[in-house]
Amino acid sequence: MSTTATDPIRDYIVQEFLAGEDAADLTDDFDLIESTVVNSLGLVRLISWISETYGIPVDDIPLEPAAYRTLADIRRFVSEAAPAAV
């Protein structure tokens, strides 16, 4: 999976959680939770955004932080839950 500037999930995380910071380290396997880039409040925002952006019903959204640990994890879940959107 590429991490280009047109990647909406990466763009969202850079814009909302890393605004004004160097995002060069945000690779596909960068740990968003461990690094505290996404904290518990951020996780709620991230999940809400994914649900609304990709039209995934809240019943189909995993609520464990592990599902959102890395960009690769998030893309994997979104591509399974909303394959047409990714």
**Which chain residues interact with another protein by CB under 8 A?**
12, 16, 40-41, 43-45, 47-49, 51-53, 58-59, 61, 63-65
CA-to-CA separations, 16 to 38, 67, 71, 86, in angstroms, rounded: 10, 19, 14, 20
Handedness of CA 11, 14, 15, 17 (dihedral sign): positive
Shortest distance (Å) from residue 33 CB to another protein:
13
Shortest distance (Å) from residue 49 CB to another protein:
5
Whichever of 29 and 59 has its CB closer to another protein, that residue is 59
